[in-house]
Amino acid sequence: MELTLHVWRQKNGQDSGKMVTYKARDVAPESSFLEMLDQVNEDLIKQNDEPIAFDHDCREGICGSCSMMINGKAHGGRKGTTTCQLHMRSFKDGEQIYIEPWRAKAFPVVKDLVVDRGAFDRIISSGGFVSVNTGGVPDANAILISKQSADTAMDAAECIGCGACVAACKNASSMLFVAAKVSQFANLPQGQPERMQRVSNMVEQMDKEGFGNCTNYFECEAACPKQISVGFIANMNRDYLKASLLHQEPVGKA
């Protein structure tokens, strides 16, 4: 396969950046998208040119590092697929491919296709910890959890924090990400003691980071490589409302 790549190149956060065109030659259809970029970078290095910077780690759809927009769609637009799981057989020989970083105020570009997603880390940190008893390891069946609650918590915990939901949203909202991280604890007994404080802190931090509001566009769910349900957003909003009512000052109190 021979492809024409239009890649966003940006030296740093202060640089204005621009699209640069490259040729990807002799690309094997069975290679992954990141392997194709590796091949292009090898050619650039041989030509003494600066290789394209992009995030990657596990290359197994687990870590969420391979964040990039491909032809205007997060991770390339294939359902339930991260960029590292996207194979070149999904494209046609001679096709032109546009590759850009996530576009969001809260995700500033570091270099080329790499963005700073530290905002997600700060949101998670703001949620704090769960209360646990120290001492000997308890029996696995000591705390009874219904299958429905366990399954729901696991569904939420599948979120890999890649940021596709933010990149796909017209408002650059991180509601799906935050809702998933809130819900994975809210559905388990271990997460109950700090449940209300956790959702308050994480939503507050989300707003501080500059993410937009959710307007039920649902593109976040469509773009999510782990197919996290927008139903978790409704659950988070319900808990946030409860937390707000619990922390209201009594009428007449200063």
- Tell me the residue type at 118: G
Please report which confidence band the pLDDT of residue 141 belongs to, taking 50, 70 and 90 as the band edges: confident
Sorted by sequence, the CB contacts under 8 Å of residue 226 that are 6+ apart come out as: 80, 158, 159, 160
Q: Scan for tokens 């740093």, then name that residue.
A: 12
HSE (side-chain half, CA atoms, 13 Å) at 121? 4
Look at residue 251 in the predicted model and tell me its pLDDT: 45
pLDDT of 252 strictly over 50: no
For 3-110, the fitting CATH number among 3.40.50.300, 3.10.20.30, 3.90.1150.10, 1.10.10.10 is 3.10.20.30
- pLDDT tens per residue across span 182-225: 999 999 998 999 999 999 999 999 999 999 999 999 999 999 99
Strands 96-100 and 3-9: parallel
Across the chain, mean pLDDT equals 94
What are the domain boundaries of the chain?
A: 3-110, 118-246
pLDDT at 140 over 70: no
> Which residues fall within 8 angstroms of residue 125, CB to CB, at 6 or more apart?
none
- Decide if 229 contacts 80 (C-beta within 8 A): no
Q: Are strands 69-70 and 73-74 parallel, antiparallel or unpaired?
A: antiparallel
pLDDT for position 213: 94
Fold of 118-246: Fumarate Reductase Iron-sulfur Protein; Chain B, domain 2 (1.10.1060)
Q: Is the full-model pTM beyond 0.85?
A: yes
Angular region, 176: left φ>0, alpha ψ -120 to 50, beta rest: alpha
CA separation for the pair 177, 228 (Å, rounded): 9
Among residues 109, 100, 117, the alpha carbon closest in space to that of 16 is found at 109
Per-residue pLDDT for 88 more than 70?
Answer: yes
Confidence class for position 134, pLDDT limits 50, 70, 90: low
pLDDT digits (tens, 9 = 90+) for 14-38: 999 999 999 999 999 999 999 999 9
The DSSP output letter for 52 is: P
SS3 127: coil
Q: What pLDDT is recorded for position 254?
A: 42
The pLDDT score that the predictor gives to residue 19 is: 98
Residues 85-100, mean pLDDT to the nearest whole number: 97
| Contact by Cβ (8 Å): 126, 205 | yes
Give the per-residue pLDDT at 246: 85
Q: What distance in Å separates the CA atoms of residue 81 and residue 230, rounded to the nearest whole number?
A: 18
What is the per-residue pLDDT across 143-163, written as a single tens digit (0 to 9) for each? 889 999 999 999 999 999 999
| Helix residue ranges, H only, 99-191 | 118-126, 147-157, 164-168, 175-186
**Between residues 133 and 110, the one the model is more confident about:** 110
